[in-house]
């Protein structure tokens, strides 16, 4: 499981699609549970969009919106593979 520091240092790679799928999922998993990292990632995302950088595999506007939507709604809906403690 990633901690906040791992997520922070991987945020740019995560958003540019450069992470291996497995790590990507771990980041998403963390973001669903951690509001601080969600905000941090959204800030990086906003920055990347503002700079109009072109990563190897840029997320589409649709993908970005899907992420933001998933993150926003993560508390409202029970995910099938969500474990409660
Ligand atoms: Zn965190």
Residue 53 included in any domain = yes
Write the burial class of residue 37 (CB in 10 Å: 0-12 exposed, 13-18 middle, 19+ buried).
buried
Ligand 1 centre and the CA of 14: distance in Å? 14
Q: Both tokens of residue 47?
A: 């920055």
Ligand 1 centre and the CA of 22: distance in Å? 17
Helical ranges in 16-60 per DSSP H: 21-33, 35-51
d(CA 43, CA 2): 19
pTM over 0.85: no
Q: Both tokens of residue 29?
A: 């998993």
Residue 67 included in any domain = yes
Residue 83 included in any domain = no
Residue 78 included in any domain = no
Residue 79 included in any domain = no
Q: Both tokens of residue 10?
A: 């991987």
Residue 11 included in any domain = yes
What's the number of domains the chain is made of? 1
Ligand 1 centre and the CA of 46: distance in Å? 18
The whole domain housing 29 covers 4-72
Ligand 1 centre and the CA of 82: distance in Å? 17
Residues 21-62 pLDDT 10s: 899 889 988 998 999 999 988 888 888 777 765 555 666 777
Residue 84 included in any domain = no
């Amino acid at each position: 499981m990633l901690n906040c520091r791992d997520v922070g240092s991987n945020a740019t790679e995560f958003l540019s699609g450069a992470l291996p799928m497995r790590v990507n999922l771990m980041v998403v998993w963390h973001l669903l549970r951690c509001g601080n990292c969600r905000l941090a990632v959204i800030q990086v995302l906003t920055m990347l969009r503002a700079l109009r950088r072109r990563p190897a595999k840029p997320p589409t506007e649709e993908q970005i919106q899907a992420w933001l939507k998933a993150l926003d709604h993560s508390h409202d809906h029970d995910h099938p593979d969500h474990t409660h403690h």
